[in-house]
């Protein structure tokens, strides 16, 4: 029987070489069929481990499994969710992971031939892992620790729990979902089949991090109709949709952009702008942790567009909102013991808990919005969505320990 360390290491190395990059603006479910390659492997491995009710939804590409309760008393069914896809924004073909054993600090040569070096001065987080065994890439691709480090941990956890019946736990429900990176929001996760009464996603970065607060989010999609005229005779007639778009962008405060904000500060992010004199499209992401501030931001965008409509004509503008989610905070707050149990589980594993108001959304935001409280736990990766991504094997090992402590807490601490 493999140790937890060997189990997470071997699983992780085998998962990351499967290219599961998802695709923006998906036209299929899942967005890329190769996510099924990993889904089928996970289905097989869950069965081998002895997990019950293993099922692959071969339409929506969601993998399910259960570990039944081994205690008499009634304990809430706890779910763990991780996503199988990886970011489409970095090359993911031909991933060549390698393990730097007993890292002793200093720059890391990822690729001698191509002279790709990871420097400590750019990536000081390397220093947190001295003495650990770290999985790196060859500097030309993504690693995919986001979120395969989580999948490896959940699998090793399931294996350990099944082989150690002395660990007391309630029902444990597992789900692996597709397309998180492209806004899939675990929409095809079937709650009835999943069975969890509470759940955690594992999709944060370094070990010990957790979030029960995410952004409130939406995307303002503005269509601008201009009026093209020969530039030589345009005076007083032409309405350049590109210029009008720039005018709107300039109405967004410079101090409220992604690159000028941090922590709990919200922002406007004009992330897509495409057009000609005749017509243009401008997409602005709106983000804020605070509900009231979030609503104010939407009102501000409405006001900007209205102002432009007064200036250029009402029928030149179309504004709609899409791709939204709400912070999970309101849904999680009535169940704060989920966070207390988690913090105690992290501490018991000898890791420092690190609460992070997450500057993004997770599948857990959408899962919470559908009524199942679902905070986020770290997956253990560093520098996600980058060729300089890395995963310390000990971080995944710690995550397994945290999950074990967590399910034990639900038995030991839950009242009634
Ligand atoms: Zn992720």
Helix axes 4-16, 35-49, angle to 10 degrees: 160
Q: What dotted CATH number matches 217-324?
A: 3.30.70.360
Q: Pick the more confident residue, 326 or 390.
A: 390
Confidence of residue 415 (pLDDT cuts 50, 70, 90): low
- pLDDT for position 358: 87
- pLDDT for position 359: 87
Q: Give the range among 94-98, 194-198, 316-320, 363-367 with minimum mean pLDDT.
A: 363-367
Tell me if 4-213+328-413 shares its fold with 217-324.
no
Ligand 1 mean position to 146 CA, how many Å?
5
Average the pLDDT over 42-69 and give the result: 98
Ligand 1 mean position to 372 CA, how many Å?
19
Give the whole-angstrom CA distance, residue 264 versus residue 365: 16
**Is 310 a residue of the active site?**
no
Cβ neighbourhood burial of 378 (10 Å; 0-12, 13-18, 19+): buried
Ligand 1 mean position to 19 CA, how many Å?
15
Does the pLDDT of residue 361 top 80, yes or no? no
Gap between the terminal Cα atoms of the chain: 36
Ligand 1 mean position to 150 CA, how many Å?
9
- The predicted-structure confidence for 190-240, as pLDDT tens digits, reads as follows 999 999 999 999 998 899 999 999 899 999 999 999 999 999 999 999 999
Ligand 1 mean position to 220 CA, how many Å?
24
Q: In this structure, what is the dihedral angle of CA atoms 146, 150, 155, 159, given to the nearest 10 degrees?
A: 150
b/e string for 261-291 if b means 16 or more Cβ within 10 A? beeebbbbbbeebebebbbbebbbbbbbbbe
What pTM, to 2 d.p., does this model score?
A: 0.86
Catalytic residue, from 180, 363, 389, 397: name it. 180
Confidence of residue 416 (pLDDT cuts 50, 70, 90): very low
- pLDDT for position 63: 98
Ligand 1 mean position to 289 CA, how many Å?
19
**Is 180 a residue of the active site?**
yes
Which structure tokens are listed for 375?
């905070």
Does the pLDDT of residue 408 top 60, yes or no? yes
Confidence of residue 13 (pLDDT cuts 50, 70, 90): very high
Q: In this structure, what is the dihedral angle of CA atoms 52, 374, 193, 74, given to the nearest 10 degrees?
A: 60
- The predicted-structure confidence for 160-203, as pLDDT tens digits, reads as follows 999 999 999 999 999 999 999 998 889 999 999 999 999 999 99
Ligand 1 mean position to 85 CA, how many Å?
8
Average the pLDDT over 396-411 and give the result: 98
Name the CATH code of domain 4-213+328-413 (choices 3.40.50.1220, 3.40.50.150, 3.40.630.10, 3.20.20.140): 3.40.630.10
> Whole-number mean pLDDT of the chain?
96
C-alpha pair distances (Å), 313 with each of 231, 235, 277, 306, 310:
21, 17, 16, 9, 6
- pLDDT for position 49: 97
Does the pLDDT of residue 102 top 50, yes or no? yes
Catalytic residue, from 43, 45, 85, 179: name it. 85
Domain definitions of the chain by residue range: 4-213+328-413, 217-324
Closest to 212 (Cα-Cα) out of 354, 7, 73: 354
């Amino acid at each position: 029987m493999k140790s937890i360390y060997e189990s997470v290491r071997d699983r992780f190395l085998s998962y990351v070489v499967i290219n599961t990059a998802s695709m923006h603006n998906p036209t299929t479910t899942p967005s890329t069929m190769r996510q099924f390659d990993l889904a089928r492997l996970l289905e097989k491995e869950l069965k081998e481990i002895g997990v019950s009710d293993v099922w692959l939804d071969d339409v929506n590409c969601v993998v399910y499994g259960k570990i039944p309760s081994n205690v008499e008393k009634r304990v809430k069914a706890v779910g763990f969710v991780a996503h199988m896809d990886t970011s489409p924004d970095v090359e993911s073909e031909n991933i060549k992971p390698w393990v730097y054993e007993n890292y002793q600090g200093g720059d890391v040569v990822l690729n001698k031939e191509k002279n790709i070096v990871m420097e400590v001065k750019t990536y000081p987080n390397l220093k947190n892992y001295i003495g650990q065994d770290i999985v790196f890439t060859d500097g030309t691709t993504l690693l995919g620790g986001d979120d395969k480090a989580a999948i490896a941990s959940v699998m090793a956890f399931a294996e350990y729990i099944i082989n150690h019946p002395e660990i007391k736990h309630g029902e444990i429900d597992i789900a692996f979902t597709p397309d998180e990176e492209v806004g899939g929001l675990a929409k095809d996760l079937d709650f009835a089949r999943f069975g969890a009464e509470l759940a955690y996603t594992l999709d944060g970065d370094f070990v010990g991090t957790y979030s029960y607060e995410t952004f409130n989010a939406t995307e303002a999609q503005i269509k601008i109709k201009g009026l093209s005229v020969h530039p030589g005779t345009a005076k007083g007639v032409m309405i350049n949709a590109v210029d009008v778009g720039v005018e709107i962008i300039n109405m967004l405060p410079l101090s409220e952009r992604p690159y000028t904000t941090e922590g709990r500060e919200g922002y406007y992010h004009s992330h897509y702008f495409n057009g000609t004199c005749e017509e243009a499209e401008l997409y602005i992401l709106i983000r804020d942790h605070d509900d009231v501030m979030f609503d104010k931001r939407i009102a501000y965008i409405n006001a900007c567009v209205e102002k432009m409509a007064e200036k250029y004509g009402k029928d030149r503008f179309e504004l709609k909102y899409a791709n939204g989610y709400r912070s999970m905070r309101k849904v999680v707050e009535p169940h704060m013991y989920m966070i207390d149990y988690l913090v105690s589980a992290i501490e018991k594993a000898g890791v420092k808990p690190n609460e992070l108001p997450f500057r993004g959304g997770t599948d857990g935001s959408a899962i919470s919005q559908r009524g199942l409280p679902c905070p986020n736990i770290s997956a253990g990766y560093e520098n996600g969505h980058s060729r300089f991504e890395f995963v310390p094997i000990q971080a995944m090992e710690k995550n397994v320990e945290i999950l074990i402590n967590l399910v034990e807490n639900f038995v030991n601490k839950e009242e009634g």
